[in-house]
Amino acid sequence: MSVAELEAALADFRKNDLTTVARTAEVVRFILNPPFDGAGKFFYKVISNAAIATLDQHELTLLGLKKRSKIWLRISRVSLDIFLAILGPEPPAMQVARERIERSQPA
C-alpha cells in the first residue's frame, strides 16, 4: 500500500466510520481526568495536551475538544526527558521483572 493509498483509506475512515456515540463525552472526561495525584497528574496533563495537539479538526469536533497549540509537543518532549531522568535508563517495573526472571532460572 502506498502512502497516498493509506492517506485515502484514513480519510475515508474518518469521514464514514468515526462518529460520536452516547458515551463519547463520558469517556473523554475520564481520559482527560484520570485518578492520578501530584506529579502523575501533571505529567499526564502535559501528555494528553500533546496528544490533542496532534488531532485534526474533524477528530476534535467528534470528541468535543478544543484545539491545542503545537507547543505542547515540545513541552511533552521536555517533560518526558525529565521523567526518564527520574526513572533512570529503564522503568522500575522492568527491572523487577528482570530480577524475577533471573530468580526463576535454574541454577
Residue range of the domain that includes 11? 3-104
pLDDT at 107: 66
Q: Rounded to whole angstroms, how far apart are CA atoms 87 and 93? A: 10
Q: Rounded to whole angstroms, how far apart are CA atoms 1 and 8? A: 11
Reduced to 3 states (helix: H, G, I; strand: E, B; else coil), residue 20 is: coil
Q: Rounded to whole angstroms, how far apart are CA atoms 22 and 6? A: 29
pLDDT at 105: 81
Q: How many domains does the chain have?
A: 1
Q: Report helix angle 71-87 to 38-53, nearest 10.
A: 140
Q: How many CB atoms lie within 10 A of CB 68?
A: 17
Reduced to 3 states (helix: H, G, I; strand: E, B; else coil), residue 30 is: helix
Q: Per-10-residue mean pLDDT for the chain, 107 residues long?
A: 92 88 92 87 91 92 94 92 80 84 81
pLDDT at 91: 74
